[in-house]
Each structure stands twice: as structure tokens, then as C-alpha cells.
Structure 1
Amino acid sequence: MEVDPPFHETYKALFPDFMNCITGSDHKKPNSMIEEYKLPLIDLSHLMMSNPDDQYHKEVMKESCIREIVDAASNWGFFEVVNHGIPEQVLKCMKHEQKKVFHQPFLEKSQKNVLNLSPNSYRWGNPKATCLNQLSWSEAIHISLTDISKMNNTKYNNLRLAMEEFSNRAFSLAKHLAEILAGNLGLRSSYFEENCPPNSSYVRLNRYPPCPHSSKLQMFGLVPHTDSDFLSVVCQDQVGGLQLFKDGRWVAVKPNPKALVINVGDLFQALSNGVYKSIRHRVVASSGESERFSAAYFYCPNNDAKIESCSHRQTSLYRHFTFREYKSQIQKDVQDTGDKVGLPRFQTSIFL
């Protein structure tokens, strides 16, 4: 039976405008030159060195590592980490189980409650798309941590266990990195302890099937966007496709399957008053035979958490808002326009 979602049948009304989309700023021909970059690579073992005979060296290496994290969050918004504390076996198990579920027939995956998840946890394409610019050639399982325990379908028990283990480990990593970044801003150390309980975050499993149109047009596996969280922890494979909008142009990220990708989300940009950057990024659909997989953990606060810009600058660039307000505004914008607007909705007059 067919594994891939029915992209052509569902979105056939968008394809007559195929050639018109070529002129769009986000849709350049595949042969356009896009430079490939390596993300800053940070060895987190320096944060946990424990040699009592050389305390000075330990502190020097730790401070150097912290500076690298702060610089990457400020200048790139993205970086990679190794020696991050998540065992390789946990990541391998996660990849194995997500491949198994995505390789099930589409009719089974798309059945309501087959995974005993909330509505729309399994998603593909973009039902709100009005043009190809808004269409994601991918499928995903997007689930809150509170819903993972509800996956009591015996067939997917191993998937549930893998997601629980991955999310628990990713929570500890994200919290540690968030506290380091907050410390650089002078924020109180208890902020994330109080506002980001383990069950307030999300996990997303992605599959990007090959796209037959990519030889003629740069189709998106995931449309350009920023993440609506504090930090994202991403495990990806060796198949490339991730691109960032840096210094006014799109650049490709060289995949490094031995490292985890960390990126700053909208909430940290607002919390830091623009010190840390939530960078627009996208995934380009593959024109070859290879499918791409990734798993992402989104470090989020509870819905009532207040996002208030720190006082590094005299004037706050963003007005105060709760995470609930932010999500509600995103949903409204997607409903009205088919796309996310995000932080610009919460800018103060000084930024307008």
C-alpha cells in the first residue's frame, strides 16, 4: 500500500500556478548557488569536567564553552553540540522507531486515534496553503509530552518508549543550555524551573519524502519559519536539506549526524530583548531517491508563562505576553493567511 501522503491529489489546484511561484523570493531554481556552511560545533563535555587536581583548568574550559554557546546564540541562532549527554543508543532507537511508523500505509497513519493522540497530531502538507510557497512536502507526528503516555496502542509501544526516553534526555539538555543563556542575560536562575515543567514541551518526528518537482522548482520539505519556543533540540540524519536565512541570504547547513542541532526560538529572542536570534529556516525537499528523517524537541513554557524582555537595553523591543497569547496569535494568522507571522506581532512602537 502507498506510504506517502497524497500530495498531488490533495493540492492539485496549486500546481497550475507552478511557473508563477518561480518568481517568488523563496523559490529559486535548484541550480542556484547556495553556499554550504558548518554550524558552530560546541563540545559540552567542558561543562562537566571533573578533575579535582586541576580546578583552574576546569573553570577556564567551562567559561570558554559558555562563551561559545552565548556567541553562537547571538550571532547564528543555531549551533551543534557533541558530548551532550543523550546516549547514541537512545537516538538510534528514536530513528528506528520513527522510520517504522512513517513506513506504515498512509491510510493507517492518517486514521483518527490510531496512535491514541490528540487531533491533528499526525499532519502532512498544509491544509491552509493557498500557493506552493506555503506547501510543506513532508509528514510529521507533532505531540505534546502529556500525550505521549496516552499512546497505549501495543503496536506502537516501542515508539512511545523511545519518545519518552528522547524527550526526558532532551529536556535536561535544553534546560541546562537555557539556564546558561539566561545567566548571561542576568536573569534569575529559577525562571525556567518555574515556567518550563517537563510536560509543557513538544516532540516532533519528521519524514521528508523525495519530491518529483524539485528538479524544476525548489520545493519545501518545511516552509520558511522560526520556532515558537525557547530552544529546539534536533536530531537529524546525513541527508541534507536544512537551510538558514543568514546575513540577508539563504545558506545550506552541512549535515553532521554525530551532533545535535540546537536553535534559538522566538521566546528566547523576546526574553533576551533581541540579544539571541530566532533565525528563519527551512528544509528543501529532495529531488533524489533519499528520504530525510529528523526528530525535534521543543523546549516550551506552560501556557500562562509571561515572556518579558530583559533590561539589557533601555527600551524593550517586545511587549509582554504569555505563551498562550503567542500561540493564539499564531493560530489566527495561519487561519487568516496560511502562514505564521510570529514575533513582529508583539513588537513595541520602537521597533515599528
Structure 2
Amino acid sequence: MGEVHRSVQELAASLGALPPEFVRPEHEQPAATTFPGGAAPDAPVIDLSEPRCGARVAAAAREWGLFQVVNHGVPSPVVAELQRVGRAFFSLPREEKDRYAMDPASGRIEGYGTRLQRDLEGKKTWNDFFFHVVAPPEKVDHGAWPRSPAGYREANEAYCCHVQRLARELLGHLSLGLGLEEGAMAEAFGGGDLVFLQKINLYPPCPQPELTLGVAPHTDMSTLTVLVPNEVQGLQVFKDGHWYDAKYVPDALIIHIGDQIEIFSNGAYKAVLHRTTVSKEKTRMSWPVFVEPPGELVVGPHPQLVSGESPAKYKARKYKEYQHCKINKLPM
């Protein structure tokens, strides 16, 4: 049934019940596994205008691997325009969106896609997306960007400039939190060659959201991820054996610690295991930017964080080799 449809967005418009290929195993179903409210702890919300915010960033990276930032310097109108053009793209007719379809077989990995492929357990997730590189300029292919809606390119470029500044600031706090020079982490990840990948996630209304997921549990391959959510609850974090909601905070950006920072820090900072739930009545959207090293760059534990008492916990390897192993679920 699902194979007839080109996207989850189309599928959602025609369903009364969830097809079996979307039903997650019981140990993954949100209704059975989400921490039941009440005294559940909240992920840290950090005001980046406060003098001691750097110490709080480092502490959150150690304890949670995820935190939210306010007073982050990204103007609200810039975020609102990013969201406007993203919503407008997914409102286009299917034929228009299909002009930008991903085609991994031909090497086209940027563009419009869907999660209608099965995972290793034969299951699917409730998610469509658009994905492209936004920086550095030499890696950007504007041919992969939508020409409609009007203003799409301008909105994404304006937002990316602010995210580049914010990423440098956060990497500086995290570096200092390890007892290193402020610029050590950014330099180890490529400095001005850091790659910024913009994604738009769309999670349409789902007839039985308690049985499925928008994104299955995973950690991000990147150094860190800067995410704009909409107001629909969905992001969940795994901590201390439980799945917790990362509650929506107006005007906040959500920061994920990724695998490369965990590797660089020799395990001092934790890549956050997270997943996404969906809603029965509302469309959830998110706009993550993945901040990655260049593919040829070798990433490993920083030498100052390795000693006889604290041996290296991770292998140093080119980032593209790490990507290949993780995507294909090969030993690392």
C-alpha cells in the first residue's frame, strides 16, 4: 500500500489507519516508552547572554548531550522567514516538489525525499524532508535548492550566516569546558571549512501516532546540530534509561551534541540519543542544521584529553569513512 505513494505527506491525506509497516516494535512505541510526565526533568535551557553561560553549555553537553539556547543572537524575523519558506515548499503540488527529488543512485543526495524506505527491521518512519548544503560557498549547489517559493534562497542564506556565528560560539564554550584553548575544537573540525547542511523535516498528522515514530532513535553523525522546531511537541531525548520530551520553548534553538564532539572529547561530552514522535491532529516541522567536518578531515580524541589514566576510547578516522560506516551500519 505504502509503495503507491510518493511521500508520507500524500499517504497521510488518504489514511484512516496506520499501515503495518509503520507500526514500531512494542519496545519503541511512544505510548509504551515515554516517561509519564509529572516529575520528568527538563533538558537545560541556557541564556547565552549570561556571563556564566559557557560553563552551563559544557555541563549540559556532559549530562544531557542536548540543551536549548535563548538570547542566541539569531533575530526572530530571520527564523520566521526560514520557517515560512519551508512551509511554503511543502505546500507546493507534488509535481513541483518532485522536480527536486533526491536520487542517491545517480549521486544526487541533496533534495526532496521521504522515509518510505524500510529500515533493517522492515519498518518505515513518518517523515518527509528537504536537504541541501548551505555553506561553505564552494560546496553549495544552488541547482538543488527550490526556485519556489520566492525568497527561499535569501531566507536560508541569511539564517545560515547567524548559525555559523552561533556554532563558533558554542564550539568555543565546549572547548574551554574541556580545559582547551577556545579555538581548539573549531580548528580540529576544519575551521573555515566546516560544512553546514540545512534540512527541513515534515511530520504530517498521523492516524495512530502512539504506534509509530517520525525518526527512529539515533545520534547525529555531525559535530553539533542547531535545530529550529515548530510549536508541535515531538523531540524526545533518552537519558538514564528513559525517553523524555524536550519541551517546546518559544524562541529557543535546540542544540544536539553529535558523534564527532563525543569522539573529540574522548567521551567527556555525550552525543544525544534522540527520536521524534508525531501528532494525530497537527503537522510537526523542524529545521536542523548539521555542522560537519570536511569529509577528508581526520577526527579523533584531542591529544590533551588522552593519557595513561584516560586512554583513547575512539579511533581517529576521516569523517567520510565514519559516515560510510554509520550509514551502512558497519563496525567502527
Note closer, same or farther for the CA distance 1:15–1:149 as it changes in structure 2 (3 Å cut): closer
* CA deviation map 1:159-191 (0-9, x unaligned): 111111111111110111112211222445255
Alignment partner of 1:323 out of 301, 304, 319: 319
Q: Between Structure 1 and Structure 2, whose CA radius of gyration is higher?
A: 1
TM-score by length of 2: 0.83
Which residue matches 2:112? 122
- Percent of aligned positions with the same letter in both sequences? 27
What residue is the counterpart of 1:53 in the other structure? none
Find the partner of 1:84 among 72, 77, 82: 72
Report the counterpart of residue 29 of structure 2 in structure 1. 27
Structure 1 CA distance, aligned partners of 2:41 and 2:321? 36
Q: Of residues 152, 162, 172 in structure 1, which corresponds to 2:155?
A: 162
Alignment partner of 1:135: what SS?
Answer: coil
Q: 2:273 & 2:145 partners in 1: Cα distance?
A: 36
| Residues 227 and 266 in structure 1, CA contact (< 8 A), matched pair in contact too | yes
Map 1:60-209; keep pairs closer than 5 Å: 62=51, 64-112=52-100, 118-131=108-121, 134-145=123-134, 146-147=139-140, 149-150=142-143, 154-188=147-181, 189-193=183-187, 195-197=190-192, 200-209=195-204
CA separation of 1:157/1:196 partners in 2, compared to 1, >3 Å: closer, same or farther? farther
Distance 1:212 1:18, change over 3 A: same
Q: In structure 2, how many angstroms separate the alpha carbons of the residues matched to 1:286 and 1:142?
A: 23
Q: Which letter does structure 2 place at the counterpart of 1:40?
A: P
Displacement of 1:31 in angstroms is: 9.2
Contact 2:88 2:149 (8 Å CA) reproduced: no
Aligned-partner SS, 1:29: helix
Alignment-derived partner of residue 267 in structure 1: 260
Give the whole-Å Cα distance in 2 for the aligned partners of 1:32 and 1:84.
30
Extract unaligned runs of 5+ from structure 1. Answer: 47-61, 334-340, 347-352
**Equivalent residues of 1:179, 1:192 under 8 A apart:** yes
Task: Please list the CA deviations of residues 5-54 of structure 1 after superposition, one character each: whole Å capped at 9, or x if unmatched.
Answer: 44489xxxx945677x443x2125369653354321111113xxxxxxxx
Contact 1:97 1:158 in 2 (8 A): yes
Q: Which residue of structure 2 lines up, in the alignment, with residue 338 of structure 1?
A: none
Residues 192 and 212 of structure 1, relative CA distance in 2, 3 Å threshold: same
Q: Secondary structure at the match of 2:88?
A: helix
* Larger fraction in helix: 1
- Return closer, same or farther for 1:113/1:285 CA change in 2, 3 Å cut-off: closer
Structure-2 residue corresponding to 1:312: 305
- Residues matched between the structures, number: 309
**SS of equivalent to 2:87:** helix
Structure 1 residues 66 and 291: alpha-carbon distance in aligned structure 2, compared to 1, 3 A threshold: same
Once residues 153 and 298 of structure 1 are traced to their aligned partners in structure 2, the CA distance between those partners, rounded to angstroms, is 19
**Residue in 1 that maps onto 2:240:** 247
Query: Within 2, Cα distance between the matches of 1:28 and 1:191?
Result: 36
Q: Residue 164 of structure 1 aligns to a residue in which SS?
A: helix
Whole-Å separation in 2 of the counterparts to 1:41 and 1:28: 24
Distance change (3 Å), C-alpha of 1:190 and 1:137: same
Report the TM-score, using the length of structure 1 for normalisation: 0.78
Unmatched 5+ residue regions in structure 2?
A: 1-5
Distance between the aligned counterparts of 1:120 and 1:106, measured in 2? 17
Residues 1:105 and 1:17: Cα distance change in structure 2 (over 3 Å): closer
Verify: 1:39 aligned to 2:34, yes or no.
no
What amino acid is aligned across from residue 219 of structure 1 in structure 2?
T
